[in-house]
Structure 1
């Protein structure tokens, strides 16, 4: 991007180590290469310049470099080495940076000359005693060593200060002791081997010489912290401390570190113009200001910070420096360089600015590999695996995740990186994540909110902590549950639809009282084409009992009359007049295609299944069950019942659609209240019962007819259930309009002088028969009840309402029909058994019916209007055909049913 190039050492497939060694066996150590080569990768930080000044010709104090691993102590010592060994190259380097940074003071720093520089990384443990290093490397060391050892009995445990001064007077020395604390802490200190005490005393000698005779000795050591014993003796002489804190100026620290990092990483970072960088960063910086609500007074400073940090966002560098690397105890600068180098190699050419979103969880080369190697923390490796699993969870749960979550990898990567920070800093607010994924173009706020919600809802390790979203190793029960619920692949067996149907049934028929009176059936998604095969066998129409069927439609029919009429004809062969259709609100989709309802059903089902593992799921089960049921309760606002039937053309059927006044388990009761109060017409029912009584029909036959639509376009009489219909018949009986023959054992009828209410109370318990028993219970007109006194008007109450056993004048097996058929109408008086009427065993009356010539289709319709059903017996049937050909007659004879005999008479025309 903009021609920026990494240094050659970072371009290879395998990144070279960034640790600085003063010297090594391959002669590639920092003090073994040319000063110019080393200084090319060195940025003049405040601490480095302070160190060069501290070893200058006018200084007289030891120098102590303090800092934990990876801060750059060894690099600073190597720069001091070259500052003394190669004064010319160092001076040229200082002058160049003075021009670049616009600070003439840098070029004016005085450099020491003419000293022997001895540098050693003590952690390599090549010297048991410090004086061995000094005597071995110094040109006069062999002489001094011999002099010390030749002292005989006067020989001390360590060389005296006089011997060291004599050594240094021969050749002044700058002594660089890297990793001094590591070496010192590793010394034994026993009575037999008091080596630590010896080293403690010898470093005191060196410190005092460095302070009193800076012309002879410049002492520079590095330690990890200022509280160690290794530092104490040097501390006594008031050394110059370099602690990588840039003089306590936090802003200077940040600036120094960023410039040093960029200079260390890139060959030509300083050659990229500020204008080009600002243009490239414009959108990202603008969104950063907007989303994080940065005050206008801070804009200029922040823009400069972005420009200086490019190609890395300053918020990424702060995240790594102040949170991630501190949290993981990494070797700060050293590991930072490795992480950033890998990140730029992986994403630098494709991203205008590198943020936390560029750490791709499935690509170790994006910097994550270097980061995990640096932190060496199993927790963060595990957390990375969890985050990767969450990405898989989202892709499986969201079929169109490419469209709905286009920044999935970036958002999860940024959230993971921000989740390994320390304490309350862990995680990120949504606005921060939106900044992370913003490049050359702003991300739409609404689209981002939808995308982030999709990711969070389908992941199970993301926790909400205040305003922050954070990854945790432990699973978020709610997130896991919802991630599972949104994964369509886990419910290909249709278990979610079964659960939704189960909840639908419960919502409508939740109480036992409702379940006793109503059979609630939730029709499946394919209710129009195949309503029964996927349901339990007990819900098929063949298994229906006397409970009132309420069919719950999963969706609103487009044309209620047409669709429900066709459905009744196709999928229900009997009891078509008994069903109530429960219809969803207008505008709702098919319940089994409504993703929100399905997800609630899945969550409720899985929460119950997992409740044994974790009590949290018990709470979630209750929550989702309540939410689902509340949604289902509000789903239905109407019901439909058949009003007019047309078997030939179901599209002409008419249904009555009534609003529901109640919800949930109160719906069945509300339906029945509406049916009785608004739809049931007592006069129509009374007329039908009187017709049945006139025809001496059984109660069973009448009830079966009432369960079917009325023929010939007549208005259907709403079916209220067997019990309600029998009670209404008894009401008519108590009013004296009909009588009922209870299987020939008893006649129900009002008594002379008895009022309606008294008669009703007496008769109500009498009609307790059900099922096929009702085929032996007959309706009749009151005047048709048999009498023992010659007149039904004078018949005693005991003979009318008592049993026939005990009355010698009555037969033991009374007839199933009236003694005299009523042909002339309801008001005609029949003859008694003592008159000229037919005997008790005579056949039932016949009603002659005929129709003028018409088509066969019209005749079929006429049969329905006459009340002739499949079980109705007819006699003396004559079909008159005015004219036919021989072929038509032959075809007609072929279609006559087997098992019957037919008489044929015709008139043949002469040829």
Structure 2
């Protein structure tokens, strides 16, 4: 990046601490290294220059450096040490900066010389009393200590001002007491050990000497604030205050501080040409102006701020200084240097300007580690973990995240950093995040909005706070639901497909009224090859009842006739003519591959699963369910039913495809109305019924035939349901086209002179039989029974029963020329039916094959009670097994004789 180099101390794998020690055992302290080396990393800030002037010649006031930890108090104290200890090197340093900054006054600052300089970091607790420091480090100290201790009974608790003056007259001294407040506050103050009182009195002596005899003593003390007793005694003599938070305009202080930071971090920052910087960051700056809405009159000033802060964006430095570090226990400048050094090491060569987006959550070397170490705040660490999980959630939920969210890492990192700011400044507006990710190329506005929406939808800790987005520890219910819904790994069991199918069934057939007449089945994703996969067994064809099956296709099939014809042949073995295929709009994909539909189905599931946690999830469940159902209602616009069938070549099958105007639960009724009004041809149905009547076919057989496709080349008659079809059969009966034998108990036929509507009202309630009972309801030509209706038995081919024959062994059909038994009730014949003998009048009654229970009902219908004598009883069985025959014989009553004859099959 334009040849910018970090200082050597920051280039190692492990960053060295930036805390300044005046001295240490290794002799590498700030006051133990040559002045040139120390001053090389020192920038002449306003505070530093003020301090150098305050310890110069002809100055007569103590100096107090005030500032919290990490602001640079120790660095300033070390610079003052070298200013007095090595004025030559310091003067040369001031001259160089005077030229560099174009400020002659810097080079004209007067420096004191010829003084002993004693500096000590008191927080190291090497000295119990301040006079011990003077006596040990001053060349005349041992003599004065001995003189004081040799006073015997006249020795005072602390050395007197006369003794200290005698010491200083021997060798004038500059005394620097760093971390004086920390040392002072740690002193005990009991009656036996009143050390704090002694220190309080002794610092007063030193302060007064420094004020009255500045040629003998220069006193420099650093404290954290001015509210402590450690400072009060010095404050009485009106010291020079070097306060890091005061002096000059806020803008000057800020610029001064930032220049100091950059000089401390980089070896050659001032050697980088401003024009080169402007060219490098031009895109970022112009996008900043556009997106933030900076007034034109402010452009030049703001451009100067960007130039001064480079390689860091000024909005990043302001964020760290004014919001992030202020919100924590960070040691400000010291920690800020560590954070910025790490950030440059990890990202400095990859980007023209460093912003919040360069803090990578998954890489502590990017400055995150230094930041977290500095803030020492568990909330921010937890928030980082939450942000990392959100980052992972987006990656897992968006398979093509690299293209849909190319700035995912940058946006999440920037939003996290901005979310740990203080108060109502936490978080960021979308425009701010777009600025953060803008480098050498502008980011398309629409593309960024889509990318940001993708991230928000798949993260569950991002909250909307007004116009700002912010990471929070608590989960955002809507974001959590949607993030989970977009995570495919949570639905590998196919539960989302089942939920979508469930909603399809509900939308089409969910009402109680529809459920009575229609069975809505949403076929599976692979409906062509595995249509019943994942469906309840009750929805498989072998479990279908008499309700009309509506099969909902997940997609609009190509080559519809061929696809549906092959499907019927392969997947339905019976009732092929009963099916209605509900078709989606042609512009929709397979519902089970439609990600938008699946996301809504998943969101509905998850919201319901978590609805017990709070009411927000219950509201979301209602919301997503309503959205999904509204889409599904509008999805289907056509249906198909079979028109012509070709079993040999299903590709030649033909289907009626009809448009639908209704939506949702109104679709089943709309399908039936379309079938009745547009596709059902009454003439075709009448012709089929009349053909069946000519064969005396049972109604059950007729209905089963209607449920199957008609032979090749014939138009299929739409199946309208058993009830509707029986009503149409009865309507033909009411027109006098046919007669109906109701299982031998009643005959339905138009009465003489009866009109159609009257007959219809009379006949309509009669045909209440269903299922196999309809196999005993026969269709007859109208002339086969009396026109008056009633209970006339059905005429059967006359037979000659054999005497005592139980199973009809001697029965023979009446041959041509024989005298048949005339049909009708009341017929009687004297004597044998073959013309021999005499006997009581008899009525021959017969009934076609039916169940034993129905035969018992016939006996009652014929008026045969327990005492009614009957003769020549014949029961005919067309076939039976040996076991069935044996069981029947066991149940015959005792006291009677029976004759049996049968045809045994030889095997």
Could you state the TM-score of these two structures normalised by the residue count of structure 1? 0.85
Distance 1:502 1:803, change over 3 A: farther
SS of equivalent residue, structure 1 residue 448: helix
Q: Distance in 2 between the 1:601 and 1:291 partners?
A: 37
Tell me if the contact between 2:792 and 2:824 (Cα under 8 Å) persists in the aligned partners.
no
| Cα distance, 1:746 vs structure 2 | 0.6
Q: Does 1:801 align with 2:820?
A: no
Q: Give the conservation status (yes or no) of the 8 Å contact 1:520–1:552.
A: yes
What SS does the aligned partner of 1:242 have? strand
Report the Cα distance in structure 1 between the residues aligned to 2:386 and 2:643, rounded to whole angstroms.
Answer: 61
Deviation at 1:55, TM superposition (A): 1.5
User: Unpaired runs of 5+ in structure 1?
Assistant: 813-818, 820-830, 845-899, 901-911
Deviations 1:58-80 (A, max 9, x none): 32222111111000000001111
Do the aligned partners of 1:525 and 1:590 also contact (CA within 8 Å) in 2?
yes
Describe the shift of the 1:502–1:88 C-alpha distance in structure 2 as closer, same or farther (beyond 3 A). Answer: same
Aligned residue in 2 for 1:880: none
Where in structure 2 are the equivalents of 1:174-185 lying within 5 Å?
174-185=174-185
* 1:427-576 → structure 2 map (5 Å cutoff): 427-576=427-576
CA distance in 2, matches of 1:136, 1:351: 54
**Per-residue deviation, residues 721-760 of structure 1 (Å, max 9, x unmatched):** 0011112222222333322110111101233344434333
Partner of 2:14: 14
TM-superposed deviation, 1:615: 4.3
Q: 2:561 aligns to what SS in structure 1?
A: helix
Report 1:230-309 matches (<5 A): 230-245=230-245, 247-309=247-309
Instruction: Give me the whole-angstrom Cα distance separating, in 1, the residues matched to 2:355 and 2:780.
Output: 93
Contact 1:283/1:442 (8 A) holds in 2? yes
The structure-2 alpha-carbon separation of the partners of 1:803 and 1:66, relative to structure 1 and needing over 3 Å to count, comes to farther
Q: Aligned in 2, Cα 1:764/1:574: closer, same or farther, shift over 3 Å? A: same
Contact 2:121 2:178 in 1 (8 A): yes
- Checking the alignment, whether the CA contact within 8 Å between 1:833 and 1:840 is kept in structure 2 is no
Contact 1:66 1:242 survives alignment (8 Å): yes
What CA distance in whole angstroms lies between the structure 2 residues aligned with 1:236 and 1:761?
120
Distance (Å, rounded) in 1 between the aligned partners of 2:144 and 2:114: 21
> 8 Å contact 1:284–1:442 — kept in the other structure?
yes
**Alpha-carbon distance in structure 2 between the residues aligned to 1:661 and 1:42:** 82
Measure the CA separation in 2 of the matches of 1:414 and 1:639.
53
Distance 1:365 1:152 in 2: 63
5 Å matches for 1:363-378? 363-378=363-378
SS, match of residue 327 in structure 2: helix
Quick one: distance in 1 between partners of 2:271 and 2:721? 93
Correspondence for 1:70: 70
Whether 1:622 aligns to 2:622 is yes
How far apart are the structure 1 equivalents of 2:246 and 2:5? 28
Please tell me whether the aligned partners of residues 552 and 582 of structure 2 are also in contact (alpha carbons under 8 angstroms). Answer: yes
Q: 2:729: which partner in 1? A: 729
- Counterpart check, 1:685 vs 2:685: yes
1:532-562 per-residue CA deviation (whole Å, 9 max, x = no partner) reads 3443222222221100000001001223233
Specify the alignment match of 2:582 in structure 1: 582
Aligned length in residues:
810
**1:649 Cα deviation after fit:** 3.6
Q: CA deviation at 1:712?
A: 4.0
Residue 220 of structure 2: SS of its match in structure 1? Answer: strand
8 Å contact 1:47–1:246 — kept in the other structure? no
Q: 1:509·1:518 contact (CA, 8 Å) conserved in 2?
A: yes
Instruction: Map 1:377-396 onto structure 2 (within 5 A).
Output: 377-396=377-396
| Correspondence for 2:866 | none
* Partner of residue 28, structure 2: 28
Measure the CA separation in 1 of the matches of 2:255 and 2:27: 33
Counterpart of 1:761 in structure 2 is 761
Per the alignment, residue 887 of structure 2 pairs with none
User: Match for residue 169 of structure 1?
Assistant: 169
How many angstroms apart in 2 are the aligned matches of 1:783 and 1:487? Answer: 73
| SS of the residue 2:167 aligns to | helix
- Structure 1 position 802, deviation (Å): 4.1
Alignment of 1:146 onto 2:170: no
Q: Quote the offset at 1:412 in angstroms.
A: 1.8
Q: CA deviation at 1:804?
A: 5.4
Give the CA deviation at 1:492: 2.1
Q: How well do the aligned residues superpose, as a CA RMSD in angstroms?
A: 2.6
Q: 1:51, CA displacement in angstroms?
A: 0.8
Structure 2 residue aligned with 1:875 = none
Q: Secondary structure at the match of 2:752?
A: coil
Cα pair 1:246 1:252 within 8 Å, conserved: no
Counterparts of residues 94-243 of structure 1 (less than 5 Å): 94-243=94-243
Q: In structure 2, how many angstroms separate the alpha carbons of the residues matched to 1:40 and 1:533?
A: 78
Deviation, 1:167, is 2.5
CA shift, 1:618, in A, is: 2.5
Distance 2:823 2:242 in 1: 133
Cα separation, 1, equivalents of 2:608 and 2:248: 59
Deviations for 1:224-261, whole angstroms, at most 9, x for unmatched residues?
A: 11112211122222222111135141111211111111
User: Bigger CA drift: 201-210 or 148-157?
Assistant: 148-157
Q: Which residue of structure 1 lines up, in the alignment, with residue 336 of structure 2?
A: 336
- Kept in 1, the 8 Å contact 2:115–2:172? The answer is yes
Do the aligned partners of 2:498 and 2:534 also contact (CA within 8 Å) in 1?
no
Give distance in 2, aligned partners of 1:713 and 1:840.
45
Contact residue 699 and residue 774 of structure 2 kept, 8 A: yes
Residue 234 and residue 801 in structure 1: after superposition, are their counterparts in 2 closer, same or farther (change >3 A)? farther
Task: Tell me if the contact between 1:338 and 1:370 (Cα under 8 Å) persists in the aligned partners.
Answer: yes
- Output the CA distance in 2 between the equivalents of 1:746 and 1:706: 25
Structure 1 residue matching 2:641: 3-state secondary structure: strand
CA distance in 1, matches of 2:660, 2:229: 88
Maintained 8 Å contact 2:743/2:777:
yes
Show the counterpart of 2:868: none
Quote the offset at 1:505 in angstroms.
0.8
Partner of 2:51: 51
Output the CA distance in 1 between the equivalents of 2:58 and 2:748. 134
For residues 804 and 776 of structure 1, the distance between their equivalents in structure 2, rounded to whole angstroms, comes to 14
Q: Which runs of 5+ in 2 are unaligned?
A: 802-812, 814-821, 828-843, 850-904
Q: Bigger CA drift: 604-613 or 510-519? A: 604-613
- Partner SS, residue 328 of structure 1: coil
The structural deviation recorded for 1:593 is: 0.5
Q: Does 1:425 align with 2:414?
A: no
Q: TM-score with structure 2 length normalisation? A: 0.86
Structure 2 residue matching 1:119: 3-state secondary structure: strand
The whole-number CA distance in structure 2 between the counterparts of 1:284 and 1:32 is 44
Q: 1:447 deviation in Å?
A: 2.2
State whether residues 46 and 246 of structure 1, in contact with CA within 8 Å, keep that contact through their aligned partners in structure 2.
Answer: no
Equivalent pair of 1:746/1:803 in contact (CA under 8 Å) = yes
Q: Does residue 299 of structure 2 align to residue 310 of structure 1?
A: no
Structure 2 residue matching 1:30: 3-state secondary structure: coil
| Contact residue 793 and residue 824 of structure 2 kept, 8 A | no
The answer to whether residue 784 in structure 2 is matched with residue 784 in structure 1 is yes
**Which whole-Å CA distance do the structure 1 matches of 2:226 and 2:671 have between them?**
86
Please say if residues 749 and 801 of structure 1, whose CA atoms lie closer than 8 Å, have aligned partners that are also in contact.
no
- Aligned to 2:550, the other structure's residue is in SS state strand
The 2-side partners of 1:328 and 1:637 are apart by: 62
Match of 1:640 in 2: 640
1:675 aligns with 2:675: yes
Instruction: Give runs of ≥4 in structure 1 deviating > 6 Å.
Output: 831-835, 839-844
Counterpart-to-counterpart distance in 1, 2:565 and 2:7: 81
Residues 394-414 of structure 1: CA deviation (Å, up to 9, x unaligned): 222222222222222222222
d(CA) in 1 for partners of 2:288 and 2:533? 59
Contact 1:699 1:775 survives alignment (8 Å)? yes
Corresponding residue SS for 2:673: helix
